[in-house]
Structures are given as structure tokens and as C-alpha cells.
Copies of this chain bind each other. A is one copy, B any other.
Amino acid sequence: MSLIVQKFGGTSVGSVERIEAVADKIAGYRDQGHSVVAVVSAMSGETNRLIGLAHDIQDHPTPREMDVLVSTGEQVTTALLSMALNKRGYTAKSYNGSQVRILTDDTHTKARIKSIDGDRIRKDIEAGTVVVVAGFQGVDEAGNITTLGRGGSDTTAVALAAALKADECQIYTDVDGVYTTDPRVVENAQRLDTITFEEMLEMASLGSKVLQIRSVEFAGKYQVPLRVLSSFVDGPGTLITLESDTNMEAPVISGIAFQRDEAKISIMGIPDRPGVASQVLGPISDANIEVDVIVQNVAADNTNDLTFTVHRNDLQDAAAILNQVAEKLGAREIVTDDQICKVSLVGVGMRSHAGIASKMFAALAELSINIQLITTSEIKISVVVDEKYMELAVRGLHSAFGLDGEPESVE
């Protein structure tokens, strides 16, 4: 008999019918004797409806009021789910972020959780009540309503699980787990039974956006066992663990991640002296442009070539800034390319295995895919290649590293 925190996202509670289905799922866990705390998002579409109202009034709505506005979305879902549970004969009680109380800092629209008071909820759980908590929201020291930013319901669930010392935090989504890569690109991609937090972080940030990255960090920090499951299909999902699979034969590579929509900018022939990298990237960061990969290499003539990638939408702005910087630094030229993509191998097994990188590069060479940039970390090797080779690269690596499963029969 364990305590389970279950998080249901907007699609899972997108209609009265789906809320009823979630109630059935929770009821099933209660019938097995488990205690359940459910964390819910706003019904899908509701947050956008509310944001639309705000934008009808103000182009840049006051952040404090934005939080007051959008936090109502989750509150509505908590009430409806509690009613659905009550109808089924289960006692259930809804709480918003302020009632719990989920204390955050006062950074409206992207607040961070400081602490959670679990006492009130704990009493309900002990009394056999299903506790239904509004995700994504909290309250600051002064009692103002805050929100954690979009997707913050995952963070709420993990933080609650940590505060309540729950046995498992289950995140229900519209996919049935974490895959070796995107099944839309590689049809025989396989669901992973387990993945480590570190791997999950690399997978999430690289585009396998199953979970909000903050919630994964949080779960790792507080050692909350996290499981990703489907709201719509029964199954074990993927368990995100502290330790890599105990199976000695576990594959070295967990998955292949990729990122489209990137663009590459190179500033060529920068004089080789200290501080140039920050002189290049400082103005980019000041303009709130996020930079992904950064690669620098020393060229033969005592100048540097610095290359980095940004989101494709930011390319023009970044290039405009760099043209000014280049002139100031006396750099030779700026080269941009918006037809690139990033493909990454992720796996904790990589740490202890030499030769992964060379195997990766060889597999790509065999497919005649030219590698433009390479970066590596402890558990990840990323390459930037021409965008038109993305699917080819992902499929090739998926197969080369033995990740292909049996294609599922279509019924």
C-alpha cells in the first residue's frame, strides 16, 4: 500500500468524459489500497482561452494579474475531478496552490517552489481522501498567486511527491513512455522500461519533450521515482531512476535525440586573445537569444573560429548583432546556415565505453553524411549535420547502436 502522486496534463483532462476516465483510473488505484494525490492541469484549451482574454486587453499583461487569471484553469479541473470521484463513492477534496500551501518566490509567471506544507494533505490522505491539487501554481510570501510557467504541473507533482515522501510520482501524458527516439522518425523505436535522470535530462533538452526538464531535475535532486505513462493506454510506462538499469547487458546508448529548427552562426578569423568568446556571446545573451551548441577551434593563422547554434527564429537578430561585434573585434566574416539540425546519442553507459564516438562518426560516414560540428558531454555526443540528412542520421544511428525493436504488427 503505497502513496502515489499522479499528474494528469491538459489533454488527459480535456473534457468531462476524460475527467471521468481519470477518476476511473484513480479509483482503480484506491481499490488496490493505494493512497493517491492527483495533480491536474487546466483542461486543454482553457489556458489559451484565458491568455487570449488578457491579450485582448493588454499586449503585455501585468504578470501578477496574469497569474491570478490563468491559475483559475487548474482550479476548475480540481473541482470537476473531485466531483467525479465523489460520484463514484470516493471521498476527494480539491486544493489550489495557495491552500496546500505551495510557497514560491515572487517571480510571477515563472515562479520557483521554495517549500510545500504537506500537513493538510497528509491528514486527508490518512483519512482515506483522494487529494486533488491544482498544478502549476503557488503563492508567494505576501499571499499573491504565482504560477510556475507552462508545463509547471509536472514540477508541482514532483515537488509534492518529494514533500510527501511518495513512493512514486506518475506523470500521465499522451505517450506511453520514453522511447529510444521519436517513433515518428524511426518506426521501430522502442519504449524504454527505465532511463536514468541524467539521460532523461539530455533526452528532454534535445527534443524528446515528454517531461518538463525542471521536473526531471527536481525529481533527481529529491530522489523521487518518476514514471511516465499514457493516460489513454494501459501499460508500465518508463521509470526514471537514479541508477542505470541493473541489467549488465544494458545497452550503452539509451536513445537518439534530435533537434530541428536550429541555425548555425560562425564568426571567422577572430584575433586569438582572452575574452573574445564573451565579447561575442555577451551581446547575444543580452538580447535574450538562447544559444545551444558552442564550438570554438583555433585556426592555423592565430585566429579563432567560433560557431554556435540558436533557434532558427533568432538567426536574423543574432546575425545583426554579430555583424557589429565582428567589426569591433576585427573578425574576418560571419557565416550563417539555417538548414542544419542536431542529432545526439544519449546514454550513461557511454562514460565507461571508449569507441562510442568513433562508432557514431563511422556510421554517419557510411551514410555519406558530413559532420559540421561535434560536441560531447559525459553522457551525450551531439553532431550538427545538414537538415536534409536528419531522418537518415537518426535511423542509421538507431540501427547501428542496436536500438531497433521488432516492428509492431498493425491490427
Q: Are A68 and B79 closer than 8 Å at their CB atoms? A: yes
- The reply to whether A80 and B53 form a contact with Cβ atoms under 8 Å apart is yes
Interfacial chain B residues near A84, Cβ < 8 Å? 57-58
Q: Say whether A82 faces chain B, with CB atoms less than 8 Å apart.
A: yes
Q: Are A143 and B99 in contact (CB under 8 A)?
A: yes
Choose, from A86-94, A167-175, A274-282, A352-360, the stretch at the interface. A86-94
What DSSP secondary structure best describes chain A's contact surface? helix
Q: Measuring CB to CB, which residues of chain A are less than 8 angstroms from any residue of chain B?
A: 16, 19-20, 50, 53-54, 56-58, 61-62, 64-66, 68-69, 71-73, 75-76, 78-80, 82-84, 86-87, 93-94, 96, 98-99, 120, 143-145
Shortest distance from the beta carbon of A124 to any chain B beta carbon, whole Å: 12
| Complex interface: chain B residues within 8 A of A75 (CB) | 68-69, 71-72
Choose from B16, B73, B82, B145 the contact partner of A65 (Cβ within 8 Å): B82
A321 to B353, CA, bound (A): 87
Contact of A98 among B56, B65, B69, B98 (CB under 8 A): B98
Decide yes or no: A54 and B66 within 8 Å by CB, A76-B72, A143-B99 being known contacts: no
Residues of chain B within 8 A (CB-CB) of A68 are: 75, 78-79, 82, 94, 96
Also in contact, A61 and B83, with CB within 8 A (given A68-B94, A143-B99): yes
Residues of B within 8 A of A69 (CB): 75-76, 79-80, 83
Given contacts A50-B76, A69-B79, 6 further A-B contacts (CB under 8 A): A19-B57, A53-B80, A57-B84, A65-B79, A68-B82, A99-B143
